[in-house]
Amino acid sequence: MPRLAANLSTLFTDAPFLDRFERAAKVGFTAVEFQFGYVFEPAEIAARLSGTGLTPALFNMPAGDWEHGDRGLAARPARREEFRTGVGQAIDLALELGCTRLHMLAGVVSPGDDEETLRATYVDNLRYAAQFCATAGIQVLIEPISRESVPGYFLTGLDMAADLIDEAGEDNVFLQYDLYHRRFVGEDLVSPYLKHADRIRHVQVAGWPGRHEPDVGVLDWQAAFAALDAANYAGFVGCEYWPAGKTEDGLGWARPWLGGSE
Ligand SMILES: O=C(O)C(=O)[C@H](O)CO
Ligand SMILES: [Mg+2]
């Protein structure tokens, strides 16, 4: 049975961010994730969490200037200081919220960049983030993202991510398995999951193509969910999709796993 987490950066977007916590709780979610909450005081977000009883499953470390195309900083040699400042900021927010998982985005790189330098920068930053997070009891998650979705993204494959985790050699770094991004690679979402199941600590879901509700499109989310159950996956499944209409109207697929809903 999947433990669903509403992604508050993509769901309930007809409401201001801080009001989305209540909307998620009202339809029966018991956990939430979000992409970025750094424009708010940590105490403001904490108040919404405690007011609703929602569990914070995960959020992203600062990822640079999103409006101008940044999608993370970890593989960006010239942005090392900014990356490190962001790790501290993310940990402060996580501690305030009681969140124990942070997603570290890799960033967009250019075809002319030196592969070895990018890799060394990424591993060095991953180690830095992992060691800093370990002092706060936090896990660092890394997620391969398809280049169809984010052109030039550094971290594209699960095998690559597993190799980078091995190279970093820190024991609080794990994989985030986003079914939407994996679907660009092929229809089979089960064998890649099983291959890396022992490292996967967070899953995300969206329909493919279109990134709407899981039941909009051809993504075999039921087979993937069955595989998670069979492997006794104990983490959350983040609903990181853009609703085709009003969020509440598209939750039929999730109804069996939403508690106390209207
Ligand atoms: O793009 C994705 O799938 C992600 O999970 C990133 O964190 C963007 O927030
Ligand atoms: Mg994702």
Can you give the pLDDT at residue 59? 99
| Span 218-260, pLDDT tens digits | 999 999 999 999 999 999 999 999 999 999 999 999 999 998 6
The CA 240 to ligand 2 mean position distance, Å, reads 6
Within 6 Å (CB) of ligand 1, which residues are found? 35, 60, 103, 105, 143, 145, 178, 181, 204, 240
- Nearest-atom number in ligand 1 for the CA of 103 is 7
What's the pLDDT at 262? 47
The ipTM estimated for the assembled molecules is: 0.97
Whose structure tokens read 């051809």? 218
H or E element that contains 139: strand 139-142
How many whole angstroms separate alpha carbon 102 and alpha carbon 217? 29
CATH for 3-257 (3.20.20.150, 2.60.120.280, 3.40.50.300, 1.20.140.10) = 3.20.20.150
Out of 44, 143, 148, 170, pick the active-site residue. Answer: 143
- Residue of 60, 240, 241 best suited for mutating to test ligand 1, as the one with most atoms within 8 Å of CB: 240
Residue 259: its pLDDT value, please?
85
Task: Decide: 147 and 190 in contact? Cβ < 8 Å.
Answer: no
- Phi, psi (5° rounding) for residue 172? -115, 30
For residue 175, what is the enclosing H or E element? strand 173-178
Task: Check if the beta carbon of residue 27 is closer than 8 Å to that of residue 258.
Answer: yes
Catalytic site residue from 22, 213, 240, 248: 240
Confidence band, pLDDT 50/70/90 cuts, at residue 261: very low
Distance CA(23)–CA(15), nearest Å, equals: 9
Q: Of 235, 246, 239, 205, whose CA–CA distance to 34 is shortest?
A: 239
Cβ–Cβ under 8 Å, residues 140 and 108: no
Segments in 79-220 forming alpha helices (H): 80-97, 115-134, 158-168, 179-183, 190-196
Mean pLDDT along residues 169-182: 98
| DSSP conformation class of 90 | H
Residue 114: how many other CB atoms lie within 10 Å: 11
- Cα 229 to averaged position of ligand 1 atoms, centre (Å): 23
